[in-house]
Amino acid sequence: MSRIGKKPVELPSGVSATVSGQTVEVKGPKGAQTFTATDDVTITVEDNIVSVAPRGKSKRARQQWGMSRTMVANLVHGVTNTFKKELEIQGVGYRAAVQGNVLKLNLGYSHDVNFDIPAGVTVTTPKPTEIVIEGHDAQEVGQVAANIRDWRRPEPYKGKGIRYKGEYIFQKEGKKK
């Protein structure tokens, strides 16, 4: 029994959801988003409540049950609020700046890294060592954050690199004489 899947998703005022086949479309004040579920689950909308149920007792149906409910909840959250990821840059001379639709990263390479910001996502740099990524699609915001972090992952000896805000990097001890 999925603890997540059996919880219904309540629609706040101003948000509507429609189901056609396996596709759920959620409309709200900040736009509309869709999600297509697999054939292993049934999605119903009744009185501003979206509920997801498995179509069998197979392992795959139970897996898709919780995942589909979470995806619908993310759609509802995305059309009312924004998702946000914060990154920190640590290292001497490492910095970031947004110029138009490009994030310029100086990460100790012989050249600057130019990261094109995709549509639907806003990237800001309140400080040269902080990057804030916001958007209405949780998957897209997380993927953009991961792509930026991949340019210079935190290394375990000095901790230099791009990390998520609040992320703990286990520090290794260096060479001994």
- Domain boundaries along the sequence of the chain: 9-80, 83-164
Task: Specify the pLDDT at position 72.
Answer: 93
Contact assessment for residue 156 and residue 172, using Cβ atoms and an 8 Å cutoff: yes
Superfamily of domain 83-164: Ribosomal protein L6 (3.90.930.12)
Name the class of domain 9-80: alpha beta
Task: Specify the pLDDT at position 175.
Answer: 87
* 139 phi, psi to nearest 5 deg: -65, -40
C-alpha distance from residue 46 to each of 8, 18, 29, 49, 136 (Å): 10, 10, 20, 5, 24
Task: Specify the pLDDT at position 133.
Answer: 96
Block means of pLDDT (10 residues each) for the chain, 177 residues, are 84 91 91 91 91 91 91 92 94 94 94 94 95 94 96 93 93 87
SS3 annotation, 82-130: CEEEEEEEECCCCEEEEECCEEEEECCCCCCEEEECCCCEEEECCCCCE
Q: Which two tokens stand for residue 46?
A: 């009744």
Contact assessment for residue 37 and residue 24, using Cβ atoms and an 8 Å cutoff: yes
Task: Specify the pLDDT at position 6.
Answer: 87
Task: Specify the pLDDT at position 177.
Answer: 80
Task: Specify the pLDDT at position 1.
Answer: 65
The number of beta carbons lying within 10 Å of the beta carbon of residue 135 is 21
**Is there a common fold for 9-80 and 83-164?**
yes
The number of beta carbons lying within 10 Å of the beta carbon of residue 97 is 13
